[in-house]
Structure 1
Amino acid sequence: MEENQSPFQAAVKPGVTIGLISLALTFIAYFIDATLLGSAWFGLIAIVIFFALIIYFGRQYRSEIGGFMTFGTAFNFSFIAILISGIIGLIGQVLLFHVIDPSLPGVLGDLAFENSIKMMESFGASADSLPPGQLEEMRASTAKQFTLSGQLMGFGIGIIIYAIIALIIAAILKKRDKSLDY
């Protein structure tokens, strides 16, 4: 009889697969139009694909281990798969922003700043009402997101977000064997 893999072992292949798909979407968007990387709808599409894939692979793993999975097992599987895909995505973005197209962080930083100003204006605030120093500080902070240190810090914060996503997915994936209830 084949021995079941631990959640950590089982999460490696789906994590790599999801990471490579995420990386492919990023590069496709870059080659079509680099500003797509800063658009909200592209991010939304990527998140939907990401959730669908992790749930698909999680259900596949659950069926491999007998059709039932505890919350802890589902969380471990989800978190490791998400973490691995995040590492692959980080490596790809570092390559894209610092090797392939070093001017891209400036373009995306300007786009993020413009989007922040548009959002402020949609809430009734005017960019003209802010002191020039504060506008420059906003511009610098949005540009910093795309530096190497900004990307690494974003990944560190992302680990917390990955854990929250893994908790949600684990709640979806868990399935208790009710035949054991007496």
Structure 2
Amino acid sequence: MPPSSNVTRPSATTSGTTSTTADSGTGQQPADSDQILLRDVPERDFIRQPSRPKRGAATIANHEYPSSYSYGFSNCGNCTYEVELNLPGSYKRFTGTFGLTDETRHDNVIDGIVYVSIYSSTDAQLLASTKVEYPHTVPFDVDVTGVSRVRLTVSNGTNSEYPCWCDARFTK
């Protein structure tokens, strides 16, 4: 796992992140269906998330992922953002692709490298910390059977990097 000098655990008082309690989900998929896209999870189920996440299409290496959940790192260097949510049903798998969107700057200042991991509410590691460098992507398939809450962690982030949970979905 990379060294982390700044860990941002989003809360109502942390710049760039919010705690969420309002119910303003997209309503595209009911929580009792056989699957629900991360982008369609109702707002009321998020414990914390970065401010202004994008829900919809995202591109990585000119490949479009139509059902994505992404956000940008802002005002930080070597920082960590976490998305934490209650699972809205008895889902067994969390699958998708993770990467940095084409909006990500990648040069001699911004390295375009982050580390992604997934944890349960008991801090059990469901996906080991994995290095992701733009424009590469990492597919994931995580067992969430019996898990009521997940924490999606992206560390080593820098301004102008845009992590994306592409076509990420919970399935029964």
TM bracket, shorter-chain basis: 0.3 to 0.5
- Going by fraction, where is helix more abundant, 1 or 2? 1
Normalising by structure 2, what TM-score?
0.33
Normalising by structure 1, what TM-score?
0.32
> Max radius of gyration: which structure?
1
Higher relative contact order (CA 8 A, sep 6+): 1
